[in-house]
Each structure stands twice: as C-alpha cells, then as structure tokens.
Structure 1
Amino acid sequence: MAGLALYGTSMAMMTRAGLGLSPWDVLHEGLAQRTGLTFGTVVALTSVGVLALWIPLRQRPGLGTVANVLVVAVAVDLVRAVLPDQHALGWRIALLVSGVVLNAVATAVYVGARLGPGPRDGLMTGVAARNLWSVRAVRTCIELTVLAAGWFFGGTVGAGTVLYALAIGPLTQALLRHVTWRESR
C-alpha cells in the first residue's frame, strides 16, 4: 500500500513540474484535459480499461492489482490538490527529478511485495507470454502507443518524458533488490 501511495505521489510531483511525464501519464493528462475529469479519475478509468484487456489474455489480477487501481488514483489526486504547479525552473527540475526517483522507489516497493501486477504491467506480461515478442519489445510498443495517443490528446511531452524513459528501468532494478521481501532459508 505504501508503494502504491508513493507511486501516486510521484505521478503528482511530475505533473506539477510541467516538464514532461511518463508515457502513461502523458495519456492520462491528455484525457483529463479533454474530458474535464480529475487526473486520478482518468488513471482509475484507464486502469479498468487496461484490466479489460487482460480477459482475452487470461491474466488474473491479485490483491495488489485491485489496490493499484484504487490507491494510485486517490493518492495522485490528493497530492495534486495540495501541491501547486511550480513556476521557477529550479523547483520544477527538483520536483521532476525527485518524482522520477520516487517513482522508481515506489515501483520497487509494490512490485517487490508480489501481490499482483499493476494493470499496465499485467498487460505487458500477458501479451509477451502469448506472443513471439520479448517483454522489452512489448513494453516498448505499449509505451510508444500510449505516448503518441497522449500527445495527440494534449498531454505534456518534454525533457521529463526522456528522463523517465531512460532512468526508470535502471533505477527500479537497482532498488528492487533492497525492497523485495524474501523468505529466510
């Protein structure tokens, strides 16, 4: 739960920095702007839509999957309500970099708990398991597709998008071994 709350917090930080978002958040922001719904509501609705894509893949959600939909959406809206947009470039950069690092910590914590993948991660692993493509290829295709759709809808693409794309994998991998629960032998 803490990892999911931190994940929502990191998303809010990156949106308030205004320097570019993760590919999924570019889509969430674009849809929020087009629909008038809150960012968190769009995150939740998108999560439910992605979960529907699990059905033909025969993916099974876990407790963590359901918690992901609810906790991340609420956390991002709560933090966005109290964290104002930043205008000074130094604060925007600090907020962006902190948001990306916190996102990696949060990802490692919720993945390390092994209570079920998030909707987007389950889609990736479900497609990769039933296809000839690698996880890397599937993830890249999904991320590029949602990035393009989000940009089309008006989501923020920028230096933060590039930073996130380059940093999130290595940071998460480095942190995962420190937060993954292991049974003692």
Structure 2
Amino acid sequence: MRTFLIIAVFYLAGLAALSFGISLIITAGLGAGPWDAFFVGLSESIGLTVGSWTFIGGFVLILINAMLLKQKPDFSALITMFLIGSFIDFWMLIVLADAVPASFVQQAVILTAGILCCGAGIASYLQSSFARNPIDHAMIVFHTLTGKSLAFSKTALELMILVAAFFIGGPIGIGTLIIAFLIGPLIQVFHRPVTAFRTKLTA
C-alpha cells in the first residue's frame, strides 16, 4: 500500500507539473507543441476550453488506437486525459488568467520554465504504468502497424498533427521547434534522478 501511494503521488504530481508546463508554454506565446497547438486551435476556432479539447482528443485517440489494433478501448487512459485537461484549465483559467508577457525576454523565460516543467512532469508521471497517455500509445500503434522505429513513428505523428494545427490556426512558432528538439532529451535528463528518488522512497 505504501508503494502504491508513493507511485500515485508521483503520477499526480507529474500530471500537475506537465499540465502547468503546457499552460506556461501556451502563455508564453512563442509556439506550443504540435498536440497542444492543435487543441488551442480547436478551442479558438470552435469553442470550449483547451482542457476540454485535450480530454476529447484523448477519447477519440483511445477509440482510434483500439480500432487500429482490433482491441478493446483502454478507457482507463481517460483518467489521465481528464486530469491533464482539468489541470490545464485550472492553470490557464485561474492561476495564469492575467499572465501576459510584456517582452520577448519574459516570453523566453516563461517558455523555458514551461519546457522544464514538462520534462520533469513526464519523468515523474512515467514512474507509474497506470493509464498511459493515449497520445503516447498512438506512437506505439503507428510503430506496430508500420514496422517503423519508435523515433520515426513519434516524429511522423507529430508532423501530421503540426500540419493540422497550422491549418486551424494553432499557435506555432519558434517555441514549437525548441520543444520538438528539447523535450525528449529533457525527459531523459529528469528520468534518472526522479526514478532514483522514487526507488529510494519505495525501497
């Protein structure tokens, strides 16, 4: 029970940090990651909050992933998407509601803080194997169906969503490129110490 509770804390803290990072990146206004830019574009063009579209997008992906693999939908992943979506709305609509960067320097600082939070949050959230993000699962599905590497599968999916985000007016900019190149290495940087800390607590 103690181990379960500790891992649950890492899971929830990771999702909170990840969603805060996403919210900071969007607030910075220098471009968001492909999926986040897509959800922001949907929010601005159709309505509903970014968090709502994050949840809806996750639900649709769960169905698509299951259909492509001819398996039962993993609806437990909706818990993760609901938490991420709820956290994003909390950060953006309450905590960061009046946060408007006044200069490029402020934008750069907020963007950097956001990327760091995302890296640390993902590293923490991955300590649990419970209810994995359907966006990450989509990469596995693409890899399984095409036989391509995970890196290629991830890149291909990100590019497709990036194009979709562009056409619906999502926030794409220099930040999008920075995120694309830095988020992977940052997750790796944070993953080792976070895992060591979690192992020490659960030993």
Q: TM-score, normalised by structure 2?
A: 0.84
Q: Distance in 1 between matches of 2:131 and 2:73?
A: 8
8 Å contact from structure 1 (residues 61, 117) kept in 2: no
- Give 1:179 shift: 1.8
Instruction: Give, in whole Å, the separation in 1 of the partners of 2:126 and 2:150.
Output: 16
Alpha-carbon offset, residue 169 of structure 1: 0.5
1:126 is aligned to 141
Contact 1:105–1:175, Cα closer than 8 Å, also in 2: yes
Match of 1:49 among 60, 73, 77: 60
- AA matched with 1:27: F
For residues 32-85 of structure 1, give each alpha carbon's deviation from its aligned partner in whole angstroms, at most 9, with x where no partner exists: 11111111111111111111112122376385x233211110111111112123
Residue 35 of structure 1 pairs with residue 46 of structure 2: yes
- The residue aligned with 2:88 is 76
Aligned to 2:106: 91
Once the two structures are superposed, residues 106-165 of structure 1 have per-residue CA deviations (whole angstroms, 9 ceiling, x without a partner) of: 111111222232010011112212331111111111000001100110011111101101
Aligned residue for 1:22?
A: 33
- The 1:70–1:129 alpha-carbon spacing in structure 2 relative to 1, beyond 3 Å, is same
Structure index of larger Rg: 2
Q: Secondary structure at the match of 1:127?
A: helix
1:104 CA drift (Å): 0.5
* Deviation for aligned residue 1:23: 0.8
Residue identity (%): 27
Instruction: Tell me, in whole angstroms, the C-alpha distance in 1 between the residues paired with 2:134 and 2:22.
Output: 16
Amino acid at match of 2:194: V
Aligned partner of 1:149 among 139, 152, 164: 164
| Contact 1:62/1:117 (<8 A) preserved | no
Given candidates 164, 168, 171, the residue that maps to 2:186 is 171
Find the aligned partners of 1:145 and 1:131 in 2 and give their Cα distance: 15
Contact 1:50 1:119 in 2 (8 A): yes
Residue type matched to 1:147 in 2? L
Give the direction of change, closer, same or farther, for the CA distance of 1:75–1:59 in structure 2 (3 Å limit).
same
Distance 1:129 1:173 in 2: 23
Contact 1:12/1:79, CA 8 A, preserved across alignment: yes
| Root mean square deviation, CA, Å | 1.9
Letter in 2 for 1:126: V
